[in-house]
Structures are given as C-alpha cells and as structure tokens.
A and B are shown apart, each in its own frame.
Chain A
Amino acid sequence: DAGVTQSPTHLIKTRGQQVTLRCSPKSGHDTVSWYQQALGQGPQFIFQYYEEEERQRGNFPDRFSGHQFPNYSSELNVNALLLGDSALYLCASSLFKTSGQTGELFFGEGSRLTVL
C-alpha cells in the first residue's frame, strides 16, 4: 500500500522564480492538503483540495496556488519566490467523510525548498 509520495525531495531556486511541487495521495484517499513548515516551526496550512476544487485556504498570498487532478494527485505552485518561502512543503492526504470532518492526515516526507 503506497503512502503519500512527493517530488522533488529537494530543490533550490532563486528569488523571483516559480516552483511546482507534486503529490500523490495514499491509495484510497481523495483529499489533499498542503502545509508549509519553516525551520523550527510547526506546519502551517496552505490549502486543501477535494473533488478538484480548493475547499479551504489558510493565510497565504495568491502567489501560492494549487491543483488537483482526477486521479486525486495534486500540485502546489509558488510564483515570484521570496527568501521567506524557503521551507519544507508537506503534502497530506485524507479521506473525506460524509460528516464533513477530515479524518487523520497521512503525510509525505516533504519537498525541501531553498530560495537563494
């Protein structure tokens, strides 16, 4: 049973560039959330995708955008990179419940982005 897989694992960009991070959810999961984890901090919610739509968004600027594909995989795009965007980007998948409550999150190992 494949868990959550993310790519790339590490990447280095320069200020102003754009980056795309990819995520395949755990088998059977239909919901993907993205989190940003700065060094020494806990993860912060960026947004969540379900049924190919953004369901909820955290306090992140429009430079952060995403997409979910029919196979439930997802991409996170960040435009006009800033030094402060350097962080570990974690993808988490879950199974949407009819109650509306997201179940426990299963995380990938993350994509570590360094902006120079």
Chain B
Amino acid sequence: AQKITQTQPGMFVQEKEAVTLDCTYDTSDQSYGLFWYKQPSSGEMIFLIYQGSYDEQNATEGRYSLNFQKARKSANLVISASQLGDSAMYFCAMRDWTGNQFYFGTGTSLTVIP
C-alpha cells in the first residue's frame, strides 16, 4: 500500500529565510512519481515540483527544490527566500506505478512572518 507522511502540521518561517517541509513515503513500487502541491485558502491545488523515482538529480523549480533521498524514502520540499505569498497548505503526493492515482499526505500549514 502507498502512504505519504507529513509530520509537520504547522511551520513558521521568517520572510526571506529558507524553510524545509518534510515528506516521507512508503511504497513497494519501483516506478513512482513524487509531487508537491500548494493549496491557498481558495482551495485550488497548485503544482510546484516533480521528482521521478529514477531521477538521479534533485528537482528544482525556481525557489523550490526537492531533496530526494530514495534510500530513506524521503522527498522534502525546500523553499528558499520565503515570501508572504508562500503562506498556504503544502501537500506531498505520490503517483503510483499505474500512473492513475495520486496519494496525498495530510499537509503542512506554512506561515511566513514579515
């Protein structure tokens, strides 16, 4: 069974500082994808970054980077130079080998302090 665990219900970060949001996953699949989504209060889930299970390099997208440690089954999101607009819920998700279903964690609420 696939499972995503996010152990940080809430995080605070000072504006312009970096923050790491933790994510661990459990799967027996060899092929899978890892995603991070941002959910502001509007409800829409916004795609941030993707890492494939066979990718050897950590993914980066602008201020977002994914710290992928396959042996530890972790896929932490690093946000550099935090901005006030980064305040939102952040969800880690895994796409299984069928490619049809995404499994989401319970999310981390990030608050950026001016």
Contact = CB atoms under 8 A, between A and B. Distances in A.
Do A and B share a complex? yes
Interface of A: 33, 35, 40-45, 48, 55-56, 58, 88, 90, 92, 97, 99-102, 104-110, 112
B28 interface: no
A40 B45 contact: no
Nearest to A88: B43
Contacts of A97: 99
Interface stretch (B11-19, B66-74, B77-85, B100-108): B100-108
A106 B98 CA distance: 18
25 contacts: A42-B91, A42-B93, A42-B104, A43-B91, A43-B102, A43-B104, A45-B102, A48-B100, A48-B101, A55-B100, A56-B100, A90-B43, A90-B45, A97-B99, A99-B99, A100-B98, A101-B33, A102-B99, A102-B102, A104-B50, A105-B47, A107-B37, A108-B44, A110-B44, A112-B43
B35 interface: yes
A102 B47 contact: no
A42 B106 contact: yes
A43 B102 CA distance: 9
Nearest to B101: A45
A55 B103 CA distance: 16
The 9 closest A-B pairs by CB, nearest first: A42-B104, A101-B99, A107-B45, A56-B100, A110-B43, A109-B44, A102-B99, A45-B101, A109-B43
